[in-house]
């Protein structure tokens, strides 16, 4: 595969951008070779600067459930250009988007729009602390909630990919406010509350994990967290930035029937533009300025471009519920082959091929994967025109633009890797 232009662009990028990328997981560091510089996306495909075409299973790390440049989103963005890009003042369409989110997530009685998943998770954490008057937070090893100082503790995604258990630059005092526990381990959660009774503000969780690779909640796990948080007066925060509107129109809360006190959303609600949201019970959300004492703000929060793209995306998904059945069927087909030395986890249209023979149910089991072998697999697939997440500890995503033929071509490429 010719990568001359990407290679040259990487060298130039490294002179002015750390590692040549604006987000570490894009670096290909853990899979070998350098990142591809993308010229355009179309449908389920990415075309790089050297003209190579790939079936894209990243979809901008989750947002592009309809594929690249879906007509409804592009038309919505074009229409906004007639009226402006940002006002720094309220607009009607922000109300419409907040109402659409509340429609999908009834537990989100009130919603605040922000600009990234990090902001959404960070703000929800602050609200939980302000509302409960408690400082400690429980998270789970391998889960990632954006680069929030106090949540960069045994986090997933880029930290797991790069083998960093925590980030430099986070004061020990901040990290000490976070209790990081094994995913799917209710006993550990009970013990943490017993040891810190009355001091834990919230339990923050990816109800379907994407950031250590795709890991589903064990039966009863989410229900157990709900019971414990209710008993202990702590807020249950579902970080659905990745799985929201992905595993069901109402996300994990719809799929598993467990109600969160607060929810963080991102990715799909922006249709590929920078927008995110957090929300929860009105009683909790009314602690936020300007109504209450908890401060959170944002220059571009609710800007018309991103809001319109998001509205178009949610409108399409609401009006076409069959999308979820299609995605379920196609992803099940993609994940249906028995591949030697591989454990496949899938929830809806999120999936990960873990290079291990063991079940992957938490970070301890995920980190046993043969990451070198995953790197070989990644490079093999790339050579055959299939662009997977460049990390063993990330999820892949099937979108509506992936046709059956794309799925079959991907399965054939994967079978060839194991045939040799």
Sheet bearing 396-397, strands edge to edge: 343-347, 350-354, 396-397
Query: Is 287 an annotated catalytic residue?
Result: no
Count CA within 13 A, CB hemisphere, residue 283.
4
Residues pairing with 136 in the sheet = 200
CB 66 within 8 A of CB 19: no
At closest approach, how far in Å is the CB of 10 from ligand KE4? 17
| Exposure string for 276-311, b = 16+ CB within 10 A, e = fewer | bbbbbbeebbeebeeeeebebebeebbbbbbbbbbb
Rg (C-alpha) for the chain, rounded Å, is 21
| Number of shown-chain residues binding ligand KE4 (CB under 6 A) | 20
| Residue 145 contacts ligand KE4 per CB under 6 A | yes
Of 8, 14, 23, 289, the residue at the interface with ligand KE4 (CB under 6 A) is 23
Q: Which residues, 246 to 305, sit near ligand KE4 by CB under 6 A?
A: 266
Of 52, 107, 150, 157, the residue at the interface with ligand KE4 (CB under 6 A) is 157
Query: Is 267 an annotated catalytic residue?
Result: yes
Show the site string, 299-338: x = touches ligand KE4 by CB under 6 A, - = not.
----------------------------------------
CB 135 within 8 A of CB 129: yes
| Exposure string for 379-394, b = 16+ CB within 10 A, e = fewer | bbbbebbbbbbbbbbb
The token pair at 342 is 């591989």
| Residue 116 contacts ligand KE4 per CB under 6 A | yes
| Residue 27 contacts ligand KE4 per CB under 6 A | no
Which of these ranges, 204-212, 295-303, 357-365, 403-411, lies near ligand KE4 under the rule CB under 6 A?
A: 204-212
Query: How far apart, in whole angstroms, are the C-alpha atoms of residue 253 and residue 130?
Result: 24
CB 206 within 8 A of CB 184: no
Q: Which residues, 118 to 137, sit near ligand KE4 by CB under 6 A?
A: 118, 121
Count CA within 13 A, CB hemisphere, residue 208.
28
Of 241, 284, 285, 401, the residue at the interface with ligand KE4 (CB under 6 A) is 241
Show the site string, 50-69: x = touches ligand KE4 by CB under 6 A, - = not.
-----------x--------
Catalytic residue among 48, 56, 185, 239: 239
Query: Is 239 an annotated catalytic residue?
Result: yes
Nearer to ligand KE4, 193 or 392 (CB): 392
Of 57, 140, 144, 351, the residue at the interface with ligand KE4 (CB under 6 A) is 144
**Residues lying near ligand KE4 in the complex (CB under 6 A):** 23, 25, 61, 116-118, 121, 144-146, 157-158, 206, 210-211, 239, 241-242, 266, 394
Residues recognised as catalytic = 144, 239, 267
């Amino acid at each position: 595969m010719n990568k001359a232009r990407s290679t040259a662009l990487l060298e130039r990028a490294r002179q002015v951008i750390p590692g040549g990328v604006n987000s570490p997981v894009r670096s290909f560091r853990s899979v070998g070779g350098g990142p591809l510089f993308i010229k355009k996306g179309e449908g389920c495909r990415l075309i790089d600067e050297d003209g190579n075409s790939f079936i894209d299973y990243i979809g901008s790390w989750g947002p592009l459930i309809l594929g690249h440049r879906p007509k409804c989103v592009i038309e919505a963005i074009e229409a906004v250009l007639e009226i402006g890009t940002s006002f720094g003042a309220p607009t009607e369409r922000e109300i419409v988007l907040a109402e659409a989110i509340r429609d999908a997530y009834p537990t989100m009685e009130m919603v605040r729009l922000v600009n990234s998943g990090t902001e959404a998770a960070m703000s929800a954490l602050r609200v939980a602390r302000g509302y409960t008057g408690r400082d400690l937070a429980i998270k789970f090893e391998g889960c990632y909630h954006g680069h929030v100082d106090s949540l960069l503790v045994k986090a997933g995604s880029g930290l797991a990919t790069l083998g960093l258990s925590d980030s430099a630059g986070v004061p020990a005092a901040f990290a000490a406010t976070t209790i990081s526990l094994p995913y799917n381990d209710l006993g550990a959660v009970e013990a943490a509350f017993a040891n810190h009774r009355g001091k834990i503000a919230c339990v923050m969780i990816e109800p379907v994990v994407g950031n250590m690779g795709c890991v589903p909640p064990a039966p009863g796990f989410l229900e157990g967290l709900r019971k414990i948080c209710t008993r202990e007066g702590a807020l249950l925060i579902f970080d659905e930035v990745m799985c929201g509107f992905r595993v069901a129109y109402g996300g994990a809360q719809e799929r598993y029937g467990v109600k969160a006190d607060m929810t963080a959303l991102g990715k799909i609600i922006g249709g590929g533009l920078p927008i995110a949201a957090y929300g929860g019970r009105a009683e909790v959300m009314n602690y936020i300025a300007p109504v209450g004492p908890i401060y959170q703000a944002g220059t571009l929060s609710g800007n018309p471009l991103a809001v319109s793209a998001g509205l178009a995306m949610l409108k399409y998904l609401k009006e076409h519920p069959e999308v979820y059945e299609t995605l379920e069927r196609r992803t099940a087909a993609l994940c249906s082959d028995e591949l030697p030395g591989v454990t496949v986890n899938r929830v809806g249209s999120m999936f990960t091929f873990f290079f291990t023979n063991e079940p992957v149910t938490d970070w301890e089991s995920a980190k046993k994967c043969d990451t070198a072998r995953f790197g070989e697999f990644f490079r093999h697939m790339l050579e055959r025109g299939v662009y997977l997440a460049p990390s063993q500890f990330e999820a892949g995503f099937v979108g509506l633009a992936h046709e059956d033929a794309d799925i079959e071509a991907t399965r054939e490429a994967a079978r060839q890797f194991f045939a040799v």
